[in-house]
Every structure is written in structure tokens, then in C-alpha cells.
């Protein structure tokens, strides 16, 4: 969700106002994604690298998240959304963590869209952590190195249980993944738009999905193989 700072700067506003407007868009996109029946939505709200920002900005973002978790809990539950937070959760302030755990617990049996907020998230750290946990299982004798598969590796990532992303949307014209779902994004379609996140509403979101739906995903196969009646 990139471009909050630039959106605010263009209007002569403090960066915090860009984040506040960005949080409103995030809420609209969550509602839209759930209404159109998406299986899962992951929002990259705070990266491991974002801890390097000024303390004041970090504090503001954490406050926004805490407010969101409190104010929107009822909507999330009544819309049958299952909520989770992925990332280095132990680094988050206690009040944000409490909001996360409450909402995860109260939405755990919901059967609609999975909503994951990536918070203090970094994909390299996630991969290293998965490798550590797999290595401990090997040492304790629970797993043999030769039995490690892509599926087992994937099950040790924070996103275990979520499908790999079909589509990754990057706003504000940046064309890099910035440490987001590096393992999971192997076959994802990338949609890059110049639009700044606070200007990226449901209309733009549906446009991105509409463009995505015209793409032919071959997963390394030929078009002829994919068109075969026995194709997966
Ligand atoms: C990156 O834009 C954005 C962030 C680091 C924060 C994103 C967080 C939100 C949109 C709030 C999320 C809240 C909820 C409730 C889900 P930037 O500030 O780096 O923008 P810039 O590159 O233009 O400076």
C-alpha cells in the first residue's frame, strides 16, 4: 500500500494524513474483496524495514492499526471474514498484539474471505525462520532432509494455509516486491499502477482484477497443454 507519504506531500499535508487516508482505502478494499468473493487478501501494512522510520510515524501507524482492529472488529466478524496477522508479531506493541489476538480468536471459525495483515513482515526473515523450524524438526528426528518438499516448506511460512497469491498489486509506480511474499509469489501476476494508495479505491481494485482475469497463466506449460481437456 505504497504512496501515502507522496499523496500527503502533494497536498501540503503531514505524512500521517496520507496514512489515515490510506487506512480508509484499505477498509474499502477489504469490504469490496469480501463482497466479490475473493478467497484471500493480504495487505502489506508494515514491513520489517519500516521500523527504521521516525518514531513518531511508527507510533501513528501503530495507533491507526490498533483503532482499526477495535473499530472494525464487528464488521469483520459479521462479514464472515477470517482475520490473521503475519510477520514478526512479537515486535508489535502490546496493545496492537492484543487487538490482533482478539480478532483472530473471534473470527477463527469464519468461513468467508481470509484477511491477512502483514505487520512487521519481511519475506527473507520469514524464509529464514521457516528454515530454522524445519532444521529443528530434522535434528529432533521428526523430519528427514530428503523428505522436505515445497509443500512442507510452504507450510512453515507465516502464510501457511493461505493460497499463493494469484495477483500482487503495487501502487505508486514502484516495480519491486520489497521483501513481500518472495517464495509465494513465484507465479503471481504483478499489477503495477502509478496511482498512489490513498487514490486506489474499489474501482481501481476491480480494474486490476479485470485486467488480471484476461491473463493466461501457463505455469511453465505450453498453451496447447493448457487447452488440453485433461489440463489441471
Ligand atoms: C507505504 O507508503 C505505506 C506504509 C508504510 C503504511 C501503510 C499503512 C496503511 C495504509 C494503513 C493500514 C491500515 C490498516 C487499517 C490496514 P509510504 O508512506 O512509504 O509512501 P511514500 O512512499 O509515498 O512515502
Domains of the chain (ranges; CATH) run 4-212 (3.40.1180.10)
What are the pLDDT digits (tens) for 201-221? Answer: 999 999 999 999 999 777 778
Lateral strand order in the sheet of 114-121: 40-47, 114-121, 82-86
What are the pLDDT digits (tens) for 12-40? Answer: 999 999 999 999 999 999 999 999 999 99
| Window from 97-101, 107-111, 222-226 with minimum mean pLDDT | 222-226
Please work out whether the CB of residue 68 comes within 6 Å of at least one atom of ligand 1. Answer: yes
Atom of ligand 1 nearest to the CA of 26: 16
pTM over 0.85: yes
C-alpha closest to that of 177 among 162, 163, 164, 188: 188
Decide if pLDDT at 43 tops 70. Answer: yes
Which residues are the active-site residues?
Answer: 2, 50
Q: What is the mean pLDDT of residues 60-72?
A: 97
Structure confidence at residue 217 (pLDDT): 73
CA–centroid distance, 197 to ligand 1, in Å, is 8
Structure confidence at residue 149 (pLDDT): 98
Structure confidence at residue 227 (pLDDT): 76
CA 182 to chain centroid: 12
Structure confidence at residue 232 (pLDDT): 61
Structure confidence at residue 64 (pLDDT): 98
CA–centroid distance, 133 to ligand 1, in Å, is 31
Decide if pLDDT at 44 tops 70. Answer: yes
What is each CA distance from 107 to 70, 112, 116, 120, 150, in whole angstroms?
A: 13, 10, 12, 21, 29
CA–centroid distance, 19 to ligand 1, in Å, is 5
Please work out whether the CB of residue 73 comes within 6 Å of at least one atom of ligand 1. Answer: no
Q: What is the mean pLDDT of residues 77-84?
A: 98
Give the mean pLDDT of the chain: 96
Q: What is the mean pLDDT of residues 118-141?
A: 98
H/E stretch holding 131: helix 123-139
Q: What is the mean pLDDT of residues 108-136?
A: 98
Structure confidence at residue 231 (pLDDT): 67
Nearest CA to ligand 1 atom 7: 45
Q: What is the mean pLDDT of residues 148-176?
A: 98
Please work out whether the CB of residue 17 comes within 6 Å of at least one atom of ligand 1. Answer: no
Please work out whether the CB of residue 9 comes within 6 Å of at least one atom of ligand 1. Answer: no
Please work out whether the CB of residue 26 comes within 6 Å of at least one atom of ligand 1. Answer: yes
Atom of ligand 1 nearest to the CA of 22: 10
Q: What percent of the chain has pLDDT over 70?
A: 99
Amino acid at each position: 500500500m505504497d504512496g501515502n507519504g507522496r499523496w500527503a506531500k502533494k497536498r501540503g499535508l503531514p505524512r500521517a494524513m496520507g496514512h489515515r487516508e490510506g487506512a480508509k482505502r484499505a477498509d474499502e478494499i477489504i469490504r469490496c474483496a469480501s463482497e466479490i468473493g475473493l478467497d484471500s487478501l493480504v495487505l502489506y501494512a508494515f514491513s520489517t524495514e519500516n521500523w527504521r522510520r521516525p518514531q513518531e510515524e511508527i507510533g501513528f501507524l501503530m495507533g491507526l492499526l490498533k483503532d482499526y482492529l477495535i473499530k472494525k472488529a464487528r464488521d469483520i466478524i459479521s462479514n464472515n471474514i477470517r482475520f490473521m496477522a503475519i510477520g514478526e508479531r512479537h515486535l508489535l506493541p502490546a496493545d496492537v498484539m492484543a487487538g490482533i489476538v482478539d480478532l483472530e480468536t473471534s473470527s477463527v471459525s469464519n468461513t468467508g474471505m481470509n484477511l491477512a495483515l502483514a505487520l512487521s513482515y519481511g519475506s527473507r526473515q520469514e524464509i529464514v525462520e521457516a528454515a530454522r523450524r524445519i532444521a529443528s524438526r530434522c535434528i529432533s528426528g521428526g523430519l528427514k532432509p530428503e523428505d522436505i518438499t515445497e509443500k512442507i516448506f510452504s507450510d512453515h511460512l507465516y502464510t501457511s494455509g493461505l493460497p499463493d497469491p494469484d495477483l500482487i498489486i503495487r501502487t505508486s509506480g514502484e516495480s519491486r516486491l520489497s521483501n513481500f511474499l518472495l517464495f509465494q509469489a513465484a507465479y503471481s501476476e504483478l499489477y503495477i499502477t502509478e496511482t498512489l494508495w490513498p487514490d486506489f479505491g474499489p474501482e481501481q481494485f476491480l480494474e486490476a482484477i479485470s485486467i488480471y482475469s484476461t491473463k493466461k497463466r501457463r505455469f511453465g506449460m505450453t498453451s496447447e497443454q493448457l487447452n488440453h481437456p485433461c489440463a489441471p
